[in-house]
């Protein structure tokens, strides 16, 4: 069975975009792959995190994974910072990574445009991501469109290290779904739904009450036309609602588009809201039942399992580079 690795940051509010674009898929694919899922708290430190709240966010993110259906009996769930080998491999990979490669990363360029200054952590973020993946010999990595460039750098670093020191790392393959890999903001459907958005009307939190969900979708930005058609470039708002509705119902976007041909935007929004409420009802029920003590127990067990794999790999790497 091929090994899969993916991670989620415990920053901001975990929202519907995270769920439809990643977590919901993880629940399904854990049956097919030897799956490792990490709460990547070190990645979250590229922006300031309130120390008093951060640990609670880490636990809450793991609780969300469990409530969504990630099964600790089938998958490893752990917190990134619990495994020191992530940072050890990160440093070694940094030593073979070119600054120019990192400066070409789209996310870095977007966040430093117009002369904005950056931290070294933001620049080196893709190298830590590469260490997360390569440390576990992951062959499959589920990614969104905005992470494909980072995964290609991971493959390049694997090739480069193998060329210098001998076969050590596997080159991971991407697992991507074109529909749903990027859920857009309700208040601005030209940009991805964001955990750190200044307005709560940008996203639907997984713990939002039904009436709040309905209110947010009712106020979602659309356009001045009346045609319900899937066209992300010309009709981003309507296309986003069609995508959310289709994924919430487990149906094809084209099927949903055909169903609503001739209907008005109001009907689409009402049905979309109802579908999201129904989708999240089971999750919210599970979420309320899971104690922090249970989460801590799962994470401790996961760290032990992940740690064994990581230690074996870092020892191999140390021997290859001459540190052992």
Q: Both tokens of residue 150?
A: 């980072």
- Decide if pLDDT at 320 tops 70: yes
In a domain, residue 186? The reply is no
Cα–Cα distances in Å, from 198 out to 168, 187, 188, 202, 246?
A: 44, 11, 12, 8, 27
Bridge partners, residue 35, by sequence = 4
* Residues 6+ away with beta carbon under 8 Å from 226: 264, 265
* Section 103-125 average pLDDT: 85
pLDDT of residue 147: 84
- Decide if pLDDT at 114 tops 80: no
Within 10 Å of residue 106's Cβ, how many Cβ atoms? 11
pLDDT band at 12 (very low <50, low <70, confident <90, very high): confident
Judge if 163 and 204 occupy the same domain. Answer: no
In a domain, residue 297? The reply is yes
pLDDT of residue 294: 97
In a domain, residue 279? The reply is yes
Q: Are strands 173-175 and 3-8 parallel, antiparallel or unpaired?
A: unpaired
pLDDT band at 149 (very low <50, low <70, confident <90, very high): very high
Tally of structural domains, the chain? 2
In a domain, residue 183? The reply is no
SS3 state of residue 7: strand
**Least confident segment among 100-109, 133-142, 208-217, 304-313:** 100-109
Within 10 Å of residue 262's Cβ, how many Cβ atoms? 9
For the chain, the helix, strand and coil percentages under 3-state DSSP, each to the nearest 5: 60, 10, 35
Proportion of the chain above pLDDT 90, given as a percent: 85
Q: Where are the beta strands (DSSP E) in the chain?
A: 3-8, 34-39, 76-79, 140-142, 173-175
Contact 244, 184 (CB under 8 A): no
- Decide if pLDDT at 177 tops 70: no
192, 216, 235, 269: the active-site residue: 192
Instruction: Reply yes or no on whether 192 is catalytic.
Output: yes
pLDDT of residue 180: 59
Instruction: Reply yes or no on whether 251 is catalytic.
Output: no
Judge if 224 and 253 occupy the same domain. Answer: yes
Judge if 301 and 280 occupy the same domain. Answer: no
Judge if 131 and 37 occupy the same domain. Answer: yes
In a domain, residue 20? The reply is yes
Per-range mean pLDDT, top range of 19-33, 73-87, 255-269: 73-87
How far apart are the C-alpha atoms of 39 and 313, rounded to whole Å?
20
pLDDT digits (tens, 9 = 90+) for 159-168: 999 999 999 9
* Section 81-90 average pLDDT: 98
Average model confidence (pLDDT) across the chain? 94
Judge if 170 and 64 occupy the same domain. Answer: yes
Judge if 123 and 222 occupy the same domain. Answer: no
pLDDT of residue 181: 67
Which structural domain, as residue segments, surrounds residue 227?
A: 200-287
Domain CATH for 13? 3.40.50.620
Per-range mean pLDDT, top range of 44-48, 110-114, 133-137: 133-137
Instruction: Reply yes or no on whether 254 is catalytic.
Output: no
Within 10 Å of residue 95's Cβ, how many Cβ atoms? 9
Q: What is the DSSP string of 120-142?
A: HHHHHHHHHHHHHHHTTT-SEEE
24, 63, 182, 195: the active-site residue: 195
Judge if 104 and 163 occupy the same domain. Answer: yes
Within 10 Å of residue 113's Cβ, how many Cβ atoms? 8
pLDDT band at 3 (very low <50, low <70, confident <90, very high): very high
pLDDT band at 129 (very low <50, low <70, confident <90, very high): very high
111, 170, 212, 301: the active-site residue: 111
Judge if 278 and 308 occupy the same domain. Answer: no
Nearest to 4 by CA among 31, 27, 35, 29: 35
Domain CATH for 226? 1.10.240.10
Proportion of the chain above pLDDT 70, given as a percent: 98
pLDDT of residue 90: 98
Judge if 257 and 155 occupy the same domain. Answer: no
pLDDT of residue 112: 82
Judge if 259 and 115 occupy the same domain. Answer: no
Q: Which helix (H) or strand (E) element contains residue 89?
A: helix 85-94
pLDDT of residue 179: 59
Judge if 313 and 274 occupy the same domain. Answer: no
In a domain, residue 193? The reply is no
């Amino acid at each position: 069975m091929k090994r899969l690795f993916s991670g989620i940051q415990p920053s901001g509010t975990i929202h519907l975009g995270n769920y439809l674009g990643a977590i919901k898929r993880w629940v399904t694919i854990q049956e097919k792959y030897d799956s490792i899922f990490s709460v990547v708290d070190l990645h979250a430190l590229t922006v300031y995190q309130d120390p008093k709240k951060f640990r609670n966010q880490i636990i809450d993110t793991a609780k969300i994974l469990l409530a969504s259906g990630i099964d600790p009996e089938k998958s490893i769930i752990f917190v990134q910072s619990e495994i020191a080998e992530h940072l050890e491999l990160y440093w070694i990979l940094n030593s073979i990574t070119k600054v120019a490669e990192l400066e070409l990363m789209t996310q870095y360029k977007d966040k430093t445009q117009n002369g904005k200054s950056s931290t070294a952590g933001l620049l080196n973020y893709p190298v830590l991501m590469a260490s997360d993946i390569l440390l576990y010999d992951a062959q499959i990595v589920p990614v969104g469109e905005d992470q494909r460039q980072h995964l290609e750098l991971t493959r390049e670093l694997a090739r480069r290290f193998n060329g210098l020191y001998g076969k050590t790392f596997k080159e991971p393959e991407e697992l991507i779904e074109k529909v749903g890999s990027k859920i857009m903001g309700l208040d601005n459907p030209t940009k991805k739904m964001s955990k750190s958005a200044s307005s709560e009307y940008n996203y639907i939190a997984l713990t939002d009450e039904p009436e709040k969900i309905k209110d947010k979708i009712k106020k979602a930005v659309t356009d001045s036309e009346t045609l319900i058609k899937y066209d992300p470039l010309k009709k981003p708002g309507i296309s986003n609602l069609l995508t959310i509705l289709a994924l919430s119902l487990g149906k094809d976007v084209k099927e949903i588009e055909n169903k609503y041909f001739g209907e008005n935007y109001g009907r689409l929004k009402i049905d979309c809201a109802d579908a999201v409420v129904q989708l999240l009802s089971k999750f919210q029920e599970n979420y309320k039942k899971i104690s922090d003590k249970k989460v801590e127990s799962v994470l401790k067990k996961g760290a032990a399992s992940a740690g064994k794999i990581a230690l074996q790999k870092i020892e191999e790497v140390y021997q290859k580079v001459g540190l052992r």
